[in-house]
Amino acid sequence: MIAHRGASGERPEHTLASYQLAIDLGADFIEPDLVLTRDGVLVARHENEIGSTTNVADLPQFAARRTTKRIDGRDVTGWFTEDFSFTELRTLRARERLPQLRAANCAYDGQFLIPSFAEILELAARESARLGRQIGVYPETKHPSYFAAIGLPHEAPMLALLHQFEHANAAAPVFIQSFEVENLRRLRGLTKVRLIQLVDSVGGPADGSGQSYAEMLTDAGLAAIAQYADGIGPPKDAVIARDADGNLGEATGLVARAHGAGLAVHPWTFRRENFFLPADLRIGDDPAAHGDLVGEIRAFVAAGVDGIFSDNPREAALAIGIRA
């Protein structure tokens, strides 16, 4: 079970507190999204734009750094990690990204720092030793072609840290994931660590690799992915579709086809709020109320997936039948 940005249903995402709670609740892997600072430090943020996940907008000393950039084909306005040194980022504090759905998490706004990838690896190593079980890391390279184009590629600093923590082989408790293709191809030539090709429900990779995500999930597309990756991370509806009424429907057959190509299947993202659940698994009408996440996850386990990304490790552990 992969704790998506930590226990992000319980604490502001991508904080050491969120990762620690995820481990305490039974997560097998903790998942940091990795972006870079101006001085090349890998840090965990959902996006390189940090206006909605930190208090940067409240700090007058950084007001002039608000700008608009072209990221993966669209204009984004805000504050960007690559315009800050790591030391400057450490003056910021994390905030809840989904306050309308997770009001309780807002009580923790302002309490936590932005962690570096090195700190996350240190946490996983320390907790593995304390608990006597392996805590893995599952980093995502965010916007890798964009960062490479501005002279801040992910690969070298990420692999150097993984090597430092003795995570440099196929048996390491590590998966590296990306929505792009070319950086995974480059990584395949640089490391034996397991790689996961993320796919979305629409569009295609931002690196211009010449194919849509839908094409990547055909038999030919899966065979091509298997040449450089060890698995796929599809949106959950690609594994079990919803019916016309928005209820949980039938398995699509993707798991069997991916397994036939030699690929593991780790769908995303399982969240307990009604807003994210199929209609028949919601409880009440409040989008922020908690529905039957355990039932949803169990349906996907029955469909044969090899792992799941969840914001709610407690419910995910219960559904899978591990440390509840």
The token pair that represents 103 in the structure block: 């009001």
Mean pLDDT for the stretch of residues 253-280: 98
Per-residue pLDDT tens digits for 193-231: 999 999 999 999 999 878 999 999 999 999 999 999 999
The answer to whether the CB of 18 falls within 8 A of the CB of 8 is: yes
Specify the DSSP element, H or E, that contains 287.
none
Phi-psi region of 5 (alpha: psi -120 to 50; beta: other; left: phi over 0): left
What confidence score (pLDDT) does residue 15 get?
A: 98
Domain boundaries of the chain, sorted by first residue: 2-48+113-320
CATH class of residue range 2-48+113-320 = alpha beta
Tell me how far apart the alpha carbons of residues 43 and 258 are, in angstroms, rounded to a whole number.
Answer: 32
Mean pLDDT for the stretch of residues 63-67: 97
What confidence score (pLDDT) does residue 322 get?
A: 61
Share of the chain above pLDDT 70, in %: 99
What does pTM read for this prediction? 0.94
DSSP secondary structure code for residue 238 in this structure: G
pLDDT of 324 higher than 50: no
Per-residue pLDDT tens digits for 146-169: 999 999 999 999 999 999 999 989
Strands (E), 157-283: 175-178, 194-198, 231-233, 240-242, 248-251, 264-265
Mean pLDDT for the stretch of residues 170-179: 96
pLDDT of 44 higher than 80: yes
What confidence score (pLDDT) does residue 209 get?
A: 79
Mean pLDDT for the stretch of residues 47-71: 97
The answer to whether the CB of 198 falls within 8 A of the CB of 159 is: no
Kindly report the average pLDDT of the chain as a whole number. Answer: 96
Per-residue pLDDT tens digits for 105-145: 999 999 999 999 999 999 999 999 999 999 999 999 999 99
- Taking the CA of residue 190 as centre, how many other CA atoms within 13 Å lie in the half-sphere pointing to its CB? 17
